Structure 1
Amino acid sequence: MFNPRSLYSLFTLFVILLQLCSYLVYHIQTMMLRTNREIQGSQPGWCWLN
């Protein structure tokens, strides 16, 4: 059914996609943390609420 070369290329493509997804998730998490920190820093009322 499958020749091993196409299976291997499919596997490498899957690994590349997985790495890309993990990188995107990490990037989005750091961006969200940064925006949260900026929001907390720009609002002085935050310190008093906590």
Structure 2
Amino acid sequence: MLDMTPAEFRRLVDGGHLPPPKSIGGLPRWETSTLRRIISGEAADDGDFET
């Protein structure tokens, strides 16, 4: 979905540029709908990410 390495993705999450994961079965997971909104620019005006 995003053209970057896992390390780049983690740096963006750690820096607050992408939302934090939700734990599902003890594993970090991201909602694809949220990531799609970020990619399309729809989430740009939302302020903080939902946690």
Report if TM-score (shorter chain) is over 0.5.
no
Task: Judging by fraction of residues, say which structure has more helix.
Answer: 1
Larger Rg: 1
Greater RCO (CA < 8 Å, at least 6 residues apart): 2
- TM-score scaled to structure 2, two decimals? 0.24
